[in-house]
Amino acid sequence: MSHAPESQPPESSSTDGAASGLDNAKSEIGSKISRSAIIGAIFLMATSAIGPGFITQTATFTAQMGAAFAFAIFASILIDIAIQLNVWRMVTSSGKRAAQLASSAVPGSGILLSILIVVGGLAFNIGNIAGGGLGLNALLGIDPKLGGLVTGLLAIGIFLFKRAGKVVDTVVLILGIGMIILTCIVAIVSNPPVREALRQSIAPDTINFATVTTIVGGTVGGYITYSGAHRYLDSGKTGPENAGSVMRSALSGIVVTGVMRYVLFLAILGVVASGVALDLDTSVANPAGQAFAAVLGDAGMRIFGAIFWAAALSSVIGAAYTSATFLSAFSKRLEGGWPLQLATVSFIVVSLVVYLVLGTAPATLLVFVGGFNGLILPIGLTIFMYIGWFRPRLLRTDSYPKWLLIIGTAATLVTWYTATQSIGPIFAMIGIGG
């Protein structure tokens, strides 16, 4: 009997040690999940902002405007900073997705926002499928319509079979790094007029509001505005106390995309400045691919085609899924599981059918969708600025930072102005109005 108490402490110590080890393991796993979600948020925003639409828009407008297009690039980066810092901070501070947060402030506005995102996401996805068609045309020489069909069907297959999705994620990441390297090579070899581009970034010879609206819409419009912030919610680091790390993550993504925008622009500007005329109008027009081929030859066009197609394929899946998550504003059954899977697949199918029926040249379509999302962008921004100014308690704080509100409101006013000035030219791209 007397030895029983002596045996108790070691047993207790062993149990405590096991519990402590388990807690440490859980903490380590949670930390890895958190880091993965944060890196995923940055990567999702960056890849969404430099997809097939932006690449084609940059090539098209650089061919049309030359160095003066630098102003639109610079403006898009400034607007991007103002928008993303606010959206990331508000969404993560509240711990709610964009539609839920909007409805908490203005009843019904979440449904309006969801409709706009879904419609804009559909436009984006039609353009992404068109981008897939262009990519396979450059890589294999097949008809863009057939390439779009293959891209859409493959996207559906990847989404339904998640193991295939992991393989594609790895391939897309590798090709994404390849795109950065290839673009840098072209930017160096093409010898662009850098001084002139920097001058016109601030003092352009001409300003085209439709190009500003389109490039802003193509890099931060539609679902892209909320994709990174929504992904960050998965890290669990929500609430105002994590605002610092949220802002650093958002800024990291913006800096990466901003640098890539300028490098891509300079690469194509060097080609255009050398006297090469890019095809912008035919059904097989691929101005960005032609710019790369002008510097690196046929091999450059093939490599570019593979990278462009991979970017388009990943964008089809990302745009469809992010847009489909906004459908939960209409039914909670769509928050996850097979209903969300079905909604996402249906979204891709509708996008594919519309693309095949539309008959618009893929390059033109990729430019238009950026403009369209630029037109609806200020509506969502207005709701968020209202929350920041008048409903900060929804963000779990009594006072939202004034400097963020000032730059966010300025960006909102600019997007409203450019949108109203460019509605006609944007819809004229696809033969509506004029």
Chain segment 175-186, per-residue pLDDT in tens: 667 777 888 888
pLDDT tens readout for residues 130-179? 889 989 998 999 998 999 999 999 888 887 876 665 666 666 667 667 77
**Of 59, 54, 55, the residue nearest 280 (C-alpha):** 59
Can you read off the two tokens belonging to residue 407? Answer: 């730059």
Pick 377 or 433 by higher pLDDT: 377
Contact status, residue 344 vs residue 402, Cβ threshold 8 Å: no
Distances (CA, A) of 257 to 131, 231, 305: 19, 17, 21
Using alpha carbons only, what angle is made at residue 60 by residues 55 and 66, rounded to the nearest 5 degrees? 110
Q: Is the dihedral of CA 22, 23, 29, 32 positive or negative?
A: negative
Distances (CA, A) of 61 to 67, 93, 132, 268, 307: 10, 38, 20, 10, 21
Backbone conformation region of residue 236, classed left if phi is above 0, alpha if psi is from -120 to 50, else beta: left
Instruction: Tell me the range of 40-54, 120-134, 396-410 where mean pLDDT is highest.
Output: 396-410
Distance CA(383)–CA(389), nearest Å, equals 10
Work out the pLDDT band at 9, boundaries 50, 70, 90.
very low
| 301-321: average pLDDT | 84
Q: Which CATH class is domain 40-429?
A: mainly alpha
With a threshold of 0.95, does the pTM exceed it? no
**Of 104, 80, 79, the residue nearest 91 (C-alpha):** 104
pLDDT tens readout for residues 318-373? 788 778 878 877 777 666 666 777 888 898 999 999 999 887 777 788 888 888 88
Classify residue 177 as exposed, middle or buried by CB count within 10 Å of its CB (0-12, 13-18, 19+).
exposed
Q: Is 415 helix (H, G, I), strand (E, B) or coil?
A: helix
CB atoms closer than 10 angstroms to residue 314:
26
Distance CA(68)–CA(79), nearest Å, equals 18
CA 110 to chain centre: 20
- The answer, yes or no, to whether residue 98 has pLDDT greater than 60, is yes
